[in-house]
Amino acid sequence: MAPLFPAHGKYSIYRDDHILVTEVIGPWNRELVQEWSNAAIPFCIEMHQEGPWVAVAIASQSMLATPDAMQVLRKIVQISVEQFDCRAHVVVAGPEVDGRGLLEPVFEKAYEGLCASGFFDDYDSAKRWAEQLLSQNR
C-alpha cells in the first residue's frame, strides 16, 4: 500500500566507525521516518555483526515532526536496541535549529526506558560521548 502522504524532509545515512550517523533536514513526517528506517536496516545489520554501536541524528533547519512520526521513531529505537544492539540514540542540533527547545523533551521521551540518550550542540561532542559509552560496553 502506498503511503498516504509523501515524505517530508531529507536525510542521508553513513557510518563513522561504530556510530551510525543520520543527517536530517526537517521538518519531517511519519513517511520520512519509515523511509529512513528502511534505508538504515542494512547499516544496522552490518553494525550489529561488529558489536555495540550508537545512532546519532544531526538535525538541521528544523526539528519539527508530526506526533505520529515521533511514535514511529520510538518503535524504531526499540527495534534498534532489542534486535541490533544499539546502545544509545543521540540528537545533535545547534541552537539555530527550529524547534530545538520545544522538541528536546519530546525526543527524550521517545528514548526513555529504551536506551541511553544524549542531546548535543555539535557532532564532535556527541561523538566523544558515544565513544566513551561504547568503551564502557566492550
Q: How much is the pLDDT for 137? A: 67
Lowest mean pLDDT among 1-5, 29-33, 67-71: 1-5
The residues spanned by each domain of the chain are 10-136
Q: Do strands 116-120 and 53-60 pair parallel, antiparallel, or not at all (unpaired)?
A: unpaired
Quick: pLDDT tens for 13-28: 999 999 999 999 989 8
Q: How much is the pLDDT for 45? A: 96
Average the pLDDT over 101-115 and give the result.
Answer: 89
Q: How much is the pLDDT for 23? A: 97
Which CATH number is associated with domain 10-136? 3.30.750.24
Q: What is the pTM of this model?
A: 0.92
Backbone angles phi, psi at 49, to 5 degrees: -65, -25
Average the pLDDT over 55-64 and give the result.
Answer: 95
